[in-house]
Amino acid sequence: MIITGKISKSSELEDCFLLELSPRRYRRQLRRSDFRARVTQHTVIVKESIERMNDWLTGNEFQVIQENWGVTINQIDKILVRLTKLVKSPEIDLDDDKEEGKVEDDSDYDSEDEWRSEAESLSEPAIELARSAIPIIKLSRLFFKKLLRVSRNGNFQMESSFTEMSSTQLDRLACSINYIRNSNDDLYEILDEAETNDDRDTITDLGKTLSDLIHLFDSTILLLIVYVIPSMITLPQHPHPLTFQSNHPLKTWLLTWNNMFLSATKKCEQAGLVFQLSD
């Protein structure tokens, strides 16, 4: 309380001092104050940039590129919420990982009745088509959640802080979640406008978006298997590094996940054909 009072009093004295100056000296003093403020601001920016650069130079490469993944995963969550509301399927469990809490719903719908009446205007084939895309978005979210859990595990270690990836490959891996988030959003828009946008070729757009997603995940998985997994330190119970790497739990998980994802995209394509025939 005393400190606050002193600061306030000091500020008042400074204002009085400035008012007593001549107009020219007053403007000069203001410019100096503004200059000091800009210098302080730039100093903070430079300091943060240096700290960030130091993190990139000394931190684990695989962990550093995941710095903002959590935010994007939340955005994929929201796409999933919107799509699930579109097909009005309350029985579908959005929360794959119970310990991570419920998905926050901040969609544009004001009430359950509002989105439900909108969903009821869709035909059954359109609803089934939208419902077939839910596993695709859930698997997209699960993919990046899994990678985050692996890198944040207390036992996670790599032989070196850096992989042999080029800067282009590293950037591609870092941004893969953004590309996939965008494709998931495109997928939702295609399904949402399936019966309302006459200018859209739903099946063509759907096929292109699914193909883009498959390509994005294929390239991401390839980078992980070729560069990241081989750099992971083998566990004591696996004395043969080469054998361990070829059967690494993450690699096995990725291959299993990929089979599930391809199956989900195939089912979505089939639902698209049913929708097309019903049109």
Is the pLDDT score of 182 beyond 80? yes
Instruction: Record the pTM.
Output: 0.68
Is the pLDDT score of 84 beyond 90? yes
| HEC assignment per residue over the chain | CHHHHHHHHHHHHHHHHHHHCCHHHHHHHHHHHHHHHHHHHHHHHHHHHHHHHHHHHHCCHHHHCCCCHHHHHHHHHHHHHHHHHHCCCCCCCCCCCHHHCCCCCCCCCCCHHHHHHHHHCCCHHHHHHHHHHHHHHHHHHHHHHHHHHHHHCCCCCECCCCCCCCHHHHHHHHHHHHHHHHHHHHHHHHHHCCCCCCCCCHHHHHHHHHHHHHHHHHHHHHHHHHHHHHHECCCCCCCCHHHHHHCCHHHHHHHHHHHHHHHHHHHHHHHHHHHHHHC
Q: How confident is the model at residue 42 (pLDDT cuts 50, 70, 90)?
A: low
Q: Picking from 2-11, 59-68, 208-217, 229-238, which range would have the lowest pLDDT averaged per residue?
A: 2-11
Q: Which residue has the higher pLDDT, 227 or 215?
A: 215
Over residues 120-129, the mean pLDDT reads: 83
Predicted pLDDT of residue 271: 95
Predicted pLDDT of residue 11: 47
Q: What percent of the chain stands above pLDDT 70? A: 58
Predicted pLDDT of residue 43: 67
Predicted pLDDT of residue 39: 61
Q: Which residue has the higher pLDDT, 199 or 258?
A: 258
Q: Which residue has the higher pLDDT, 121 or 276?
A: 276
Rounded to 5°, angle at Cα 258 from 257 and 264: 90
Is the pLDDT score of 211 beyond 80? yes
Predicted pLDDT of residue 103: 41
* Residue in this structure with the two tokens 């005393």, named with its chain if needed: 2
Over residues 1-11, the mean pLDDT reads: 42
